[in-house]
């Protein structure tokens, strides 16, 4: 067991609780650390326990709960453990995802297509359903679900049909969750991020750059990933009477408006 796992408080001693999926690296890790610095209790959820322990970095507010969002039993078990550890969920940040296969639509393996939807869309659905159930029952009732979409929910990159389709679907899920949550004080918003500087996107600013719609490669600007944490924290800490339905956060000068 990791050091952070041993510091378990009784549910009635826990403050505001954030659950972050995909917390072992990149955007998930940055968001988790931003909330920990702000005094939140943060449940770090992800497939690799060792990476979650690295994210926790000994912070007393961190709780480690391994989960594979593509596995229904894993998700159900993880949220039972979260409820046991914290007693409530104030915010769920659905961040776990995969870029999926790269290629023209006739080149995409249907198995990889299904895998992309299973992680990005069905995984978001499963975690949201579990959090929704808890938020309906807890006292005080209510909470926030924040989905990590993508600017590909607005305009695709070339050769990304599976990823783009999954992220467009996440937008529909976000809107439905927000509508269905109204009677229970549950809101759902989406943050669509473009070119946050993580290891996965390290090649965008190199000489090769990113593939553009006209077939050329072009280096693209990026912005510090810590700004994503600040934006999600802003969404999370609004009073219950206010919510952010959608926010698009991109690098300045990124070729987004002209994509497609």
Give residue 120's region: left, alpha or beta (phi > 0; psi -120 to 50). Answer: alpha
Q: Which member of 79, 93, 113, 163 is catalytic?
A: 163
Residues 225, 16: Cα–Cα separation, whole Å: 23
Please compute the mean of the pLDDT values over residues 225-239 and round it to a whole number.
Answer: 97
- Token pair for residue 241? 């009477």
CB 96 within 8 A of CB 121: no
The residue-averaged pLDDT of 74-80 equals 98
Report d(CA 46, CA 39) in Å as an integer.
21
pLDDT surpassing 50 at residue 54: yes
Is 128 within 8 Å of 53 (Cβ atoms)?
no
Is 184 catalytic? The answer is: no
Model confidence at 4, in pLDDT bands (50, 70, 90)? Answer: very low
- pTM to 2 decimals? 0.91
For the chain, the domains span: 3-250
pLDDT of residue 260: 45
Cβ atoms of 243 and 145 closer than 8 Å: no
Task: Give the confidence band of 14 by pLDDT, cuts at 50, 70, 90.
Answer: low
Q: Is a pLDDT exceeding 60 seen at residue 193?
A: yes
What confidence tens digit (pLDDT) does each residue in 160-191 have? 999 999 999 999 999 999 999 999 999 999 99
Assigned token pair, 214? 């006209």
- Residue pair 38/30 in contact by the 8 Å Cβ criterion: no
The residues near 71 (Cβ < 8 Å, ≥ 6 apart) are none
Going by C-alpha positions, the residue among 191, 190, 195 that lies closest to residue 252 is 195
CATH architecture of 3-250: 3-Layer(aba) Sandwich (3.40)
Angle between helix 26-37 and 49-56 (nearest 10): 40
State the pLDDT confidence band at 112, using cuts at 50, 70 and 90: very high
Say which residue, 253 or 42, is predicted with more confidence.
42
Give the tens place of pLDDT for each residue, 117-154: 999 999 999 999 999 999 999 999 999 999 999 999 99
Rounded CA gap, 175 and 180, in Å? 9
Question: Which residues make beta-bridge pairs with 190?
Answer: 147, 246
């Amino acid at each position: 067991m990791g050091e952070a796992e041993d510091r378990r408080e009784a549910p009635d001693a826990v403050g505001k609780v954030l659950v972050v999926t995909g917390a072992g690296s990149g955007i998930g890790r940055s968001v988790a650390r931003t909330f920990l610095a702000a005094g939140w209790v943060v449940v770090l959820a992800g497939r690799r326990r060792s990476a979650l322990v690295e994210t926790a970095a000994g912070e007393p507010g961190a709780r480690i709960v391994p989960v594979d969002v593509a596995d229904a039993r894993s998700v159900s078990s993880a949220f039972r453990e979260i409820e046991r550890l914290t007693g409530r969920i104030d915010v769920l940040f659905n961040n776990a995802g995969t870029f999926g296969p790269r290629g023209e639509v006739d080149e995409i393996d249907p198995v990889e297509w299904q895998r992309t939807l299973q992680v990005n869309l069905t995984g978001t659905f499963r975690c949201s359903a579990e959090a929704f159930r808890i938020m309906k029952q807890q006292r005080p009732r209510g909470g926030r679900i924040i989905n990590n979409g993508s600017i590909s929910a607005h305009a695709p990159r070339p050769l990304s049909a599976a990823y783009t389709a999954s992220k467009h679907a996440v937008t529909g899920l976000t809107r439905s969750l927000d509508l269905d949550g109204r009677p229970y004080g549950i809101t759902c918003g989406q943050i669509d991020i473009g070119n946050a500087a993580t290891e996965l996107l390290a090649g965008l600013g190199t000489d090769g750059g990113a593939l553009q719609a006209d077939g050329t490669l072009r280096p693209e600007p990026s912005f510090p990933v810590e700004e994503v944490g600040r934006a999600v924290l802003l969404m999370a800490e609004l009073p219950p009477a206010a919510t952010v339905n959608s926010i698009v956060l991109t690098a300045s000068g990124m070729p987004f408006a002209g994509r497609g």
